[in-house]
A = this chain, B = another copy of it.
Amino acid sequence: MAARMTRQRTAVVEALDELADFRSAQQLHETLRARGESVGLATVYRALQALAEASEVDVLRAEDGESLYRRCARREHHHHLVCRHCGRTVEIDGPTVEAWASKVAAAQGFDDIEHTIELWGTCADCRAASAG
């Protein structure tokens, strides 16, 4: 239960706080390395796991299956619109889809509904940068 605050965990949380976008464990590890905060890769994974379980970070799967982590502003349930090129993220509220999801599932006699709703696209900056 404890969850001791160690130099390593502090470093991971701080790095997340400074980053606005979803990042992989390996990217975070590299970032920490680069600033001299040496933290083992396994430790980064463990810290992220703990944070995810405590709902302190959101996790989502990139198309290639890699897990991406982000410290969102909101603790409450929400979804994301993510740029697949730069990772830029917008938090999304979806009262409309929330209602739709539970209605549809109930109509089919399903219980304990969960939903996965994520939007991917190309942000304005990335569109401008790549073509015009």
Interface residues of A (CB under 8 A from B): 61, 65, 81, 83, 90, 92, 94, 96-97, 100-101, 104-105, 108-124, 127
B119 touches A101 (CB 8 A): yes
* A contacts with B: majority SS: strand
B127 touches A121 (CB 8 A): no
B96 touches A110 (CB 8 A): no
Extra 20 A-B pairs, beta carbons < 8 Å, given A65-B65, A113-B120, A115-B117: A61-B61, A61-B65, A81-B104, A96-B96, A96-B100, A97-B97, A97-B100, A104-B119, A105-B119, A105-B121, A109-B123, A111-B121, A112-B122, A113-B119, A114-B120, A114-B121, A115-B118, A115-B119, A115-B120, A116-B117
Contact of A120 among B92, B116, B121, B123 (CB under 8 A): B116
B110 touches A123 (CB 8 A): yes
B112 touches A121 (CB 8 A): yes
A81 touches B96 (CB 8 A): no
Given A65-B65, A94-B100, A100-B97; A121-B110 close (CB under 8 Å): yes
